């Protein structure tokens, strides 16, 4: 497999992972607001809160990696 094909395949995988993580973030934030409106600040609320932050950080890392791979294609 050519180097450019390998990079394109990695890029596609990263884009799919980014889409899945974005969907997870939407669901988590929805659940977080539902618990917030009901004033349910229990353990589940805080687990969802921390998981949302971790998912957002992961999303930022995905965007960084996609940007890096895109620049790598430009260099080839």
pLDDT digits (tens, 9 = 90+) for 20-75: 999 999 999 999 999 999 999 999 999 999 999 999 999 999 999 999 989 988 87
pTM: 0.84
| pLDDT in the model for residue 1 | 65
Question: What is the full DSSP assignment across 45-60?
Answer: HHHHHHHHHHHHHHHH
Q: Which residues have C-beta within 8 Å of that of residue 36, sequence separation ≥ 6?
A: 45
Start-to-end CA distance of the chain, whole Å, equals: 15
pLDDT at 18 over 80: yes
| pLDDT in the model for residue 2 | 83
């Amino acid at each position: 497999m050519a180097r450019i094909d390998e990079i394109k395949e990695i890029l596609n995988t990263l884009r799919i992972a980014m889409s899945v993580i974005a969907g997870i973030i939407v669901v988590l934030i929805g659940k977080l607001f539902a618990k917030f409106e009901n004033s349910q600040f229990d353990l589940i609320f805080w687990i969802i809160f921390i998981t949302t932050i971790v998912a957002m950080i992961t999303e930022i890392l995905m965007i960084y990696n996609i940007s890096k791979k895109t620049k790598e294609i430009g260099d080839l």
